């Protein structure tokens, strides 16, 4: 089931925005004209990624510096070794819709 989170025009390139979808916090980011969604959770120790520093497609966890790809959720450096979950996104008539994966 897709959930409406925002308007596409609300997103600025490479600036993640945190939304709560079904009691789960996710980061939605516009990158190179595509919208991506990953969990707002670091897989190292559960830190919140949303306040982290962004460098291109990557966000650094503010707690211990693990980096994640904002498009895929892949862990890019230690201390995280597991990806954070990515979710399905579609844009319909200018509205960004997110479907959670497990
Ligand atoms: S909780 Fe994110 S790097 Fe440790």
19-58 pLDDT per residue, tens: 999 999 999 999 999 999 999 999 999 999 999 999 999 9
User: Using CA atoms, how far apart are residues 43 and 54, in angstroms rounded to an integer?
Assistant: 17
Ligand 1 pocket mutation pick from 40, 47, 59, 75 by most atoms within 8 angstroms of CB:
47
**Residue 10, SS3 per DSSP:** helix
Q: What pLDDT was estimated at residue 43?
A: 98
For 87, the domain range is 2-99
Total domains in the chain come to 1
Give pLDDT tens digits for 65-88.
Answer: 999 999 999 999 999 999 999 999
Q: What is the DSSP letter of 8?
A: G
Closest ligand 1 atom to Cα of 65:
3
Contact 36, 49 (CB under 8 A): no
Q: Compute the average pLDDT of residues 92-96.
A: 97
71: exposed, middle or buried (C-beta count within 10 Å: 0-12, 13-18, 19+)? middle
CATH number at residue 82: 2.102.10.10
Ligand 1 pocket mutation pick from 43, 44, 78 by most atoms within 8 angstroms of CB:
44
Q: What pLDDT was estimated at residue 102?
A: 75
Q: Which of 75, 77, 71 is nearest to 57 (CA)?
A: 71
Model-level pTM greater than 0.75? yes
User: Using CA atoms, how far apart are residues 59 and 91, in angstroms rounded to an integer?
Assistant: 23
Q: What pLDDT was estimated at residue 13?
A: 96
> What is the CB < 6 Å shell around ligand 1?
42, 44-45, 47, 61, 63-66, 79-80
Closest ligand 1 atom to Cα of 45:
1
User: Using CA atoms, how far apart are residues 26 and 29, in angstroms rounded to an integer?
Assistant: 10
* Average pLDDT, rounded, for the chain: 97
* Sign of CA pseudo-dihedral 6, 7, 10, 13: positive
């Amino acid at each position: 089931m897709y959930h409406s989170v925002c308007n596409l025009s609300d997103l600025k390139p490479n600036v993640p925005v945190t939304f709560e979808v079904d009691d789960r916090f996710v980061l939605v980011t516009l990158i190179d004209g595509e919208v991506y969604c990953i969990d707002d959770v670091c897989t190292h120790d559960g830190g919140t990624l949303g306040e982290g520093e962004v460098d291109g497609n990557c966000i650094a966890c503010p707690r211990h510096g693990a980096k994640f790809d904002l498009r895929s959720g892949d862990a890019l450096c230690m201390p995280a070794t597991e990806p954070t979950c990515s979710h399905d996104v579609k844009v319909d008539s200018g509205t960004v819709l997110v479907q959670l994966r497990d």
